[in-house]
Amino acid sequence: DADVTQTPRNRITKTGKRIMLECSQTKGHDRMYWYRQDPGLGLQLIYYSFDVKDINKGEISDGYSVSRQAQAKFSLSLESAIPNQTALYFCATSEGVAEGSARETQYFGPGTRLLVL
Amino acid sequence: GQNIDQPTEMTATEGAIVQINCTYQTSGFNGLFWYQQHAGEAPTFLSYNVLDGLEEKGRFSSFLSRSKGYSYLLLKELQMKDSASYLCAVRDRRSSNTGKLIFGQGTTLQVKP
């Protein structure tokens, strides 16, 4: 079984609709992240969370909100979807260890492909 | 500010060696990661450098020069399955307690027979 799972894997929605993307992990990691990826732009950080009580904005948080329901679950919501939110969305986790450690690498879920019409 | 530059595309021949460069500017460096991403799939971790020098892992090696703000990923004995995007990501000291990474736009490598 995959360590980081995302649902749904594909979603088509209409402008103005509210949608939620879900992420679950079995790695026991404290840190979780949401990214979006657009062609030619690389990965952009939307929100990240240290633990259940901690939520932080990333580079491009406008139009998005998140919820950390448990250590293992981190959801991303688009309150009112718009076409330029069409992208590939990735959830990632990391362990949270001493700085300068390779164990701080991030592990990515399979992605959710979102199309907003 | 932070800035990471990689070539957009590269092409190489099966069996050959290819070097993918990454230059970065950051306010206090604290680690550089390389990821591989096949089209439509999740990025997967390849290598990590925090000290100057070469880290070797099978066919893949990664080099870092902190004074030059420069890294490269070296792929030897290229195989068709190595066709993918290669992402360079940097962590700076301000992000060291969050694990936040800044990603380059990625280099798409096409391996030809």
Is the distance from CB of A23 to CB of A6 less than 8 angstroms?
yes
Q: Which residues of B touch A90 (CB under 8 A)?
A: 42-43
Answer whether the bond into residue A110 is a cis peptide, omega within 30°. Answer: no
In this predicted structure, which of A45-49, B26-30, B62-66 has the lowest mean pLDDT? Answer: B26-30
CA atoms of A14 and A116, how far apart (whole Å): 5
3-state class (DSSP) for residue B82 = helix
Give the pLDDT band (50/70/90) at residue B2: low
- Contact check, Cβ <8 Å, B98/A31: yes
Q: How far apart are the first and last CA of chain A?
A: 33
Q: Which residues of A touch B45 (CB under 8 A)?
A: 105-107
- Contact check, Cβ <8 Å, A40/B30: no
A18 CA: distance to closest CA in chain B (Å): 24
3-state class (DSSP) for residue B83 = coil
Q: Which residues of A touch B105 (CB under 8 A)?
A: 40-42
- Contact check, Cβ <8 Å, B40/A111: yes
Range B5-32 average pLDDT? 93
Tokens, residue A112: 């959710």
User: Per 3-state DSSP, what percentage of chain B is helix, strand, and coil (rounded to 5)?
Assistant: 5, 60, 35
CA atoms within 13 A on the CB side of B84: 19
3-state class (DSSP) for residue A10 = strand
A35 CA: distance to closest CA in chain B (Å): 11
Q: What is the pLDDT of residues A4-62, one digit of tens each?
A: 999 999 999 999 999 999 999 999 998 999 999 998 778 999 999 988 889 999 989 99
Closest chain A residue by Cα to residue B6: A42
Q: Which residues of B touch A40 (CB under 8 A)?
A: 8, 105
B20 CA: distance to closest CA in chain A (Å): 16
CA atoms of A22 and B111, how far apart (whole Å): 35
